[in-house]
Amino acid sequence: MKLDIYQIDAFAAGPFEGNPAAVMPLTDWLDDSVLQQLAEENNLSETAFYTAGLPADAGPHDPEHPAYHLRWFTPAVEVDLCGHATLATAAQIFEDVHPDADRIQFWTRSGWLHVDRGPDATLVMNFPAEPPVPTAADPRIVAALGIPVRECLKATDLVFVAESEHDIVSMAPDFAVFSPLKVRGIVVTAASDVEGLDFVSRWFGAAAGVQEDPVTGSAHSQIAPYWADVLGRNSLVGRQLSARGGTVHCEVRGDRVHLSGAYRRYLRGTVEF
């Protein structure tokens, strides 16, 4: 079998920045076990698979815009929501399949999502907002982070608010503590000291099977509502401080968050198995 594969860096302002995602268009769905093996072989934080066929349970969508069924796999598991691989998939479809479209719709495990063309060659994703709620901090996790923590909250991920951007940059977590946790991942965030940025973050996987994600769009659907409330404004700019780094522009609109960023295409090839 031969399949097309694309690798696109999402939330990347330049080469070798942002979060690389594999994008694999399919004519028909393969067995889930094969999809998981492909994602493991690709060995990126996410591989996105999509088909033009929509499942019977897909809700109504706008017939004026192209629609696809989209799924995301880490090397270990299928996930319910992924930002950077959604942006990468939309970029591939906009450029290679629907160059005249201004919106792409995706049916996913999180319902309908859509991605619009934005200004200056950016793409804008419309995601569900997930404001985190306060929760008790597990002292084992705080110790594993190795930095002072001001607040602990929970949404899909555990969210820890640090004292400073310096703490985010300098932290060297004990990853062995995270891997057994029954939570997708851990976000650590702080207000930014840099002009033009509102907050910074890093994201560490637990059940998702990813040690540290370069840029995590879905994490921003959790921390953007938090920082919007703290800072008193809905338009924010976040920077994920991984080794690669990436910038996410966020706009909180009620129960939705618009996440936008640039992208860079890296490769196109053929998978044979």
List, by residue number, the catalytic residues: 46
* Cβ-based neighbours of 254, under 8 Å, separated by 6 or more: 129
* Contact yes or no for 144/181 (Cβ under 8 A): no
CA distance 166 to 169: 5
Q: First-to-last CA distance in the chain?
A: 5
| Nearest by Cα to 103 from 63, 54, 58 | 63
| Nearest by Cα to 221 from 260, 183, 182, 194 | 260
Q: Return the amino acid letter for 100.
A: D
**Paired residues of 2 in beta bridges:** 272
* Contact yes or no for 48/22 (Cβ under 8 A): yes
Which letter does DSSP use for residue 101 in this model? -
Q: Angle at the Cα of 265 (from 91 to 37), degrees rounded to 5?
A: 85
* Contact yes or no for 228/90 (Cβ under 8 A): no
CA distance 217 to 202: 11
Q: Angle at the Cα of 54 (from 51 to 55), degrees rounded to 5?
A: 120
CA distance 232 to 237: 13
| Nearest by Cα to 217 from 179, 182, 187, 255 | 187
